Structures are given as C-alpha cells and as structure tokens.
Amino acid sequence: MNEKNKDLTKNKLIGKDLLKYIGPGILVTVGFIDPGNWVSNIAAGSNYGYKLLWIVTLSTIMLIILQHNAAHLGIVTGLCISEAINKHINKFLGRVITITAMLAAVSTAMAEVLGAAIALDMLFNIPLKLGALISAVVIIFMLFSNSYKKIEKVIIGFVSIIGISFIFETFLVNINWGEAIRSAVVPSIPVNSLPIIMSVLGAVVMPHNLFLHSEVIQSRKWNLKDKSILERQLKYEFMDTMLSMIIGFIINSAMILVAITFYNNNVQVTELEQAQTMLKPLLGNSASIIFAIALLFAGLASSVTAGMAGGSIFAGLFGEEYDINSKSSKIGVLITTLVALVIIFFISNPFEGLLYSQMLLSIQLPITIFTQIYLTSSKKVMGKYKNTTLEKIVLWSIAGIVTILNIMLLVSSF
C-alpha cells in the first residue's frame, strides 16, 4: 500500500472513530439556540443592528472553553458537576450552589416551554397557556420514555431543522457582510444596551448546560480505567464540543442578522409573534412560517435538555447520577418542567419574561463557573488531569469578564 492510500485509510479510521463521540456536544448545543436566545438575538439585532454581534463571538469562545472543561470533569471523574459538588464541597455551601443551579434550570425551562407555546400559537392559534401545557406534557413524555441515544438522535434532527431554517432566512436578507464581520470581532456597548448584552451572554453561556455536559459526556459508558480509552475520549470530546458550539455560533449570528431587517426598517420588536408577522412583508410568507416551525422545534428540543439538566442537578444533591428510571432524576425533571409551567401562567408579557430569564441566567453563571474552576483545578478531584496553569488563567479570566459584566448590569440598573 502506497503512502497516499495509507493516509486515506488513516483519515477514514479517524473519521469513523470521531463519529462514535459525536452527540453530547450537539445535545448541549440546542440549549443555546433556545427561545431565550431567539428573544435576546432579535432584541440585539432589531435595536442595535450589527453592533452587538461581538457578544455572540465572545460568548461562544467562552462557551467552548467552559463546556470542554465541564466535559473534562465528567470524563475524568465519572461524576457530573452536581455529584462532584456533593462529594467534594462543604455540604451547606454545596447545597446552596446546587439549588441556585436548579433555579437556573427552571428559568431556562420556562423560556423554552414558553417559546414552544408561542410557536403553537403562531402555527395553529392555540392559546398560550394551553400551548404551554401541551408542550410540557410532550417534553415529560419524551424524557420519561427515551434513552440518551434516542434523545441525541431527536435533538440532532431538531438542530438540523433550526439551522437550515435560519440559513435559509439569511439568504432572504440584504446583509452588509463587511460590517457584520467587523462587528463580530470589535466590541461595542451602545447606550442602554447592557441588559441585552447580558441577556445574549446568559442565553449562550448557560449554567444548566455546564451541568448537563458533565453528565451526558458519560452516556457512552466507556471503560475509564483503561488509560488509552480515557485519553481518546478526552481528545475526541474537544472536537465534538468545538464542532457543536460553532454550529450554535452560526445559528445565533444568523438570528441577529435576520433581525437586522427590523432595525433597517425602524421596527422595534416587543414580542416573538410580532417578529413572525413582520417577516411576511419584509422577507415573504415562507420566512414567517419557517420562523414559527423552527421556534417550535427549538422550544421542544431545548426543553428536553433543560429537563435532563434539572434531573441531573437534583439527583446530584443526593450523590446520584442522572437516570430517568430513578426517583431523584424523575423528581428533578418534574420540578424543572412543572415549576416552569406554573411560572408561565403568571407571566403577563412573554417577550420580557423570556428576556429577563436570560439575564437571570447570566447572574447565576459566575457561581457555576467559580465552582467548576475550583473542582477542575483540584488534584484531589481530577488527579493528574487537573487544570494546567494556562487553563486556570484562561478560566479565571472568563470568570472575571462575566463577573464584571454582571456588576456593570447591576450599576446600570440604579
């Protein structure tokens, strides 16, 4: 066999090997293309044009690093973040951290169930509260009846539909690509934009997703006692995470670019239904229908992952792994989904509810990041796979940026 054929054979083997590890990253990706992201991105694009594209870029870079770090914890220890907190952090402090994470999961689920309900209203004129109830029932059924592998396949299908939908819509929009590329890398904080910046950050870098990734990365049940298998999983996990997060970056950026249509036409969007209706004269009837269909799939898919995250976080309170057949995981799923449903029944302005839910996530985010860095930097927890000095510098820099933005938001609120 000549050298060229050897290289082709090697590349094919690497490709097949990588496919075994693809899935957990995609499962997590849908969490940051959920209805909360839709609202944050539409608000960013319709109010500030291209100016806030940079926060999606920054958030995605931080997301790749944080999600990889969370997955690293799951692979090396065989524990999700919640289990690791229960095992390695003071009980009282650990429970406070975990309870705030549960609140973040509920906040996320609320936005996602609400998004699916809004989509049902757009498509079939189903009243919002009834749509939320239908969505919650479907989500609980999916979670209680599916294994990881089945859910992964469903989620990959949903993400594909969402991605294709927004790529299609960007072809209908007149985009200044030069300005878009510049704005994606040059930071800008227009007057009164900080709440939207924080909502975009909270919508991309989501606390519950860090917990979820550390859990679902273990779904393959590899033999972690075999060092070669452990090393291979660490290698391919990063590829899975990188690929998945880039897909999310493209979709989130596309959302803002589509929303710039409203900015160019001096239209201020205050609700998702309005965005769909206004897309008809601006982009054509097909765009508004695709918008609603994609929103429905985004709401359902992300609600499933939020429920899984809530189940994982709650089970970790008792030192247990996520297993939908276990009592603690079922209770966690039900708390996350049903409490979210109850909150929806008391929301008067769905668009603002979605926007503020993402801001709340960004406020909880530093707690999760600081906890994660502590765990992954500990030799007791991670052994020789603990964070290197460079990794610590990068992770603490991210924690610092998120904390500073939160302080700026707090100051701007008064």
Instruction: Give the per-residue pLDDT at 11.
Output: 41
Instruction: Give the per-residue pLDDT at 259.
Output: 86
Question: What average pLDDT does the segment 330-346 reach?
Answer: 93
Instruction: Give the per-residue pLDDT at 15.
Output: 46
Counting residues of the chain whose pLDDT is more than 70, the rounded percentage is 77
Instruction: Give the per-residue pLDDT at 52.
Output: 93
Residue-wise pLDDT tens digits, 102-111: 988 998 888 8
Closest CA to 377 of 396, 353, 404, 400: 396
Instruction: Give the per-residue pLDDT at 250.
Output: 87
**pLDDT tier, 9 (very low <50, low <70, confident <90, very high otherwise):** very low
CATH numbers and ranges of domains, the chain: 22-361 (1.10.4160.10)
Residue-wise pLDDT tens digits, 256-288: 898 888 888 887 776 666 666 656 666 666 777
Euclidean distance between the first and the last CA atom of the chain, given in angstroms as a whole number: 72
Closest CA to 334 of 78, 155, 137, 185: 137
**pLDDT tier, 118 (very low <50, low <70, confident <90, very high otherwise):** confident
**pLDDT tier, 39 (very low <50, low <70, confident <90, very high otherwise):** confident
Residue-wise pLDDT tens digits, 231-260: 666 667 777 778 888 888 888 888 889 888
Residue-wise pLDDT tens digits, 312-327: 999 998 888 888 889 9
Instruction: Give the per-residue pLDDT at 84.
Output: 94
Q: What is the DSSP letter of 383?
A: G
d(CA 52, CA 130): 35
Instruction: Give the per-residue pLDDT at 271.
Output: 67
Residue type (1 letter), 163: G
Lowest mean pLDDT among 91-95, 186-190, 238-242: 238-242
pTM score of the predicted model = 0.80
376 phi, psi to nearest 5 deg: -80, -10
Residue-wise pLDDT tens digits, 135-187: 999 999 888 886 556 666 776 776 677 777 777 777 777 889 999 999 999 99
Q: What angle do CA 224, 80, 220 make, to 5 degrees?
A: 45
Given a cut of 80, is residue 37 above it in pLDDT? Answer: no
189 phi, psi to nearest 5 deg: -125, 85
Residue-wise pLDDT tens digits, 374-383: 999 999 999 9
Q: Is 234 helix (H, G, I), strand (E, B) or coil?
A: helix
Q: What angle do CA 283, 172, 247 make, to 5 degrees?
A: 120
Instruction: Give the per-residue pLDDT at 394.
Output: 94
Structure token pair of residue 68? 């990889």
Phi-psi region of 61 (alpha: psi -120 to 50; beta: other; left: phi over 0): alpha
**pLDDT tier, 224 (very low <50, low <70, confident <90, very high otherwise):** low
Given a cut of 70, is residue 56 above it in pLDDT? Answer: yes
Given a cut of 60, is residue 1 above it in pLDDT? Answer: no
Given a cut of 90, is residue 59 above it in pLDDT? Answer: no
